[in-house]
Amino acid sequence: MSDQKKILRSIMHGIKGLMPTDSSGEQTTSVRAYHKMLSIKDLLQGNLLNRWWDRDRWPVTSGNYLVGERKSPVAICTLTSPQLMEPLQKAEGTAIVGRLVTANLGIEKIIRNIISNPNIRYLLLCGEDSPVFHPGQTLHSLFEKGVDSDHRIIEAQGHYPVLINIDRELIEHFRNHIVLIDCTGEGNLDALQRTIMRLGKAETALRLGVDYEQDHPIPPRA
């Protein structure tokens, strides 16, 4: 393991240790409190009021992201690799790019921002996953397995992988209409930019009804 990854793991464990746990060993109370703080922050910044008056406003939730061309078909999650965000924002085909460090609130924001833009077809997962909170593996499990009756992501390794603030219908819409392109661990900008461009061309071809050959077969739009 590299020194950088060792430092990251130590930091993540330190943050986790600062959070109060409940009887199950999870920070349920902390997650709920943090969600309330984010809602208040949105209100104070005017985000909620702006979205009420401007229904065409997008993205619909606050977060650590950069917006590309909103009519493009690719959303990108760089996990714990924020250095990838700015270069990938400029790639042809990028609608939005952001990082992800939690297995709950961060995923809820991804779902809301993606399904509120009907142009987005793909979610490209790249960069390094957190060695403690495992948001990348959790997101992959969400696509593969879905959630149980308590909105807990099935077979997720992430810490408290429960989507408590979002309706099941929205979760299933996300799973059924968005294609996950899982490149977790990939940090090569040239390779990622080629993938984004290929996905953009593939989606354009699908919209035009034209066959398009590519390395990763993409299911037809639902």
Query: What are 114's two structure tokens?
Result: 């993606």
Q: How do beta strands 94-98 and 179-182 pair?
A: unpaired
- Tell me the pTM: 0.76
Number of helical (H) and strand (E) elements in the chain, helices listed first: 8, 5
Each residue's pLDDT expressed in tens, for the chain with a length of 222 residues: 556 555 545 555 555 555 555 555 555 555 555 555 555 555 555 555 555 445 568 999 988 999 999 999 999 999 999 999 999 999 999 999 999 998 999 999 999 999 999 999 999 999 999 988 899 999 999 999 999 999 999 999 988 999 998 999 999 999 999 999 999 999 999 999 999 999 998 888 777 776 655 444 554 444
Q: Measuring CA to CA, how many Å separate 21 from each of 17, 25, 30, 218?
A: 9, 5, 8, 41
